[in-house]
Amino acid sequence: MSCIEVQNITKCYKGTKALEDVSLRFDEGKIYGLLGRNGAGKSTLLKIISNRIFADSGCAFLDGKRITGNDKALGRIFLMNESNLYPQKMKVKNAFKLTKSFYPDFDQKYAEKLSELFGLDVRKKIRALSTGYGSIFKVIIALSVNTPFVFLDEPVLGLDANHRDLFYKTLIEKYAADPFCCVVSTHIIEEVSSVIEDVVIIEKGKVIKNQSRDSLLETGYTVSGAASAIDSFAADKNVIGFDSIGGLKTVYISGKLNRSEIPPELEVSAMDLQKLFVKLTSGYGEEEK
């Protein structure tokens, strides 16, 4: 099975560390969620792997071979991000043709079918597309390109709820028919949570979580109730965050849930990815200020 391995990548922008000693691995045939706050380093990481920019140190490998300057490896990786690499005056349908010349497995018929499904007019010029349709245009190319590794950096930016729904359904349909490695970086965690199998969380240029979604969610739970009862219950627990309103308090606990030790007046609920993410990346201390 093919895989991309990132080893000890560090990247600085004018003295600020965007990525610091990042190592991870993306396996073929899996959907990953790459999560992080603004400026955490997600886009930088994806750009380095796909050779759009270069790391200060460290390397990315595809099946053990360095990706840098390796056209064969790069032909197997597709990155969709905020930049548009097509001439602005080009029509959408011609952009599809052009893509085919770079990526021989690009499925033009499928791209046209998706355009119809999303309501994208292929006769339009790229510069005439709205923000939403600009994203849709790029998403359609990414879904039709048929490379074993597809990176989607903020694919749903500017998409309305209907189009986001259609995007996730199309992605899953495509993936179910022929699994490929798809790395989705997004801010809309709630929506992507059920779609992904593995989660990578980046915080300030470092990987802080990298595991399956299910196993990550099993590592924590939340308990709410009267503040005093919560405080005594949580005293010996590993608390990663809390919310409080009036005399009510909710604590986010990292650790295995043991239902029998929960006092009856407290309510337990499972951790969801969005909550966990917010707590992991905002820090416990900040809220106390």
The residues binding other proteins (CB under 8 A) are: 31, 165, 168-169, 172-173, 175-177, 179, 191, 194-197, 214, 217-218, 264-265, 269-272
Residue number with CB closer to other proteins (39 or 179)? 179
Residue number with CB closer to other proteins (195 or 239)? 195
Contact at 8 Å (CB) between 142 and 157?
A: no
Shortest spacing between CB 96 and other proteins, in angstroms:
24
- Tokens standing for residue 69: 């300057």
**Geometric angle at alpha carbon 207, from 206 and 208, rounded to 5°:** 105
Task: Give one DSSP letter per residue of 222-253, joined into a string.
Answer: EEEEEHHHHHHHHTTSEEEEEEEETTEEEEEE
**Bridge partners, 57 (sequence order):** 10
Shortest spacing between CB 269 and other proteins, in angstroms:
6
For residue 20, count CB atoms less than 10 angstroms from its CB and return exposed for 0-12, middle for 13-18, buried for 19 or more.
Answer: middle
Shortest spacing between CB 159 and other proteins, in angstroms:
14
Shortest spacing between CB 217 and other proteins, in angstroms:
7
Residue number with CB closer to other proteins (20 or 27)? 27
Residue number with CB closer to other proteins (121 or 165)? 165
Shortest spacing between CB 254 and other proteins, in angstroms:
17
CA torsion angle for 238, 266, 229, 273 (degrees, to 10)? 30
Residue number with CB closer to other proteins (84 or 170)? 170
**Bridge partners, 151 (sequence order):** 79, 183
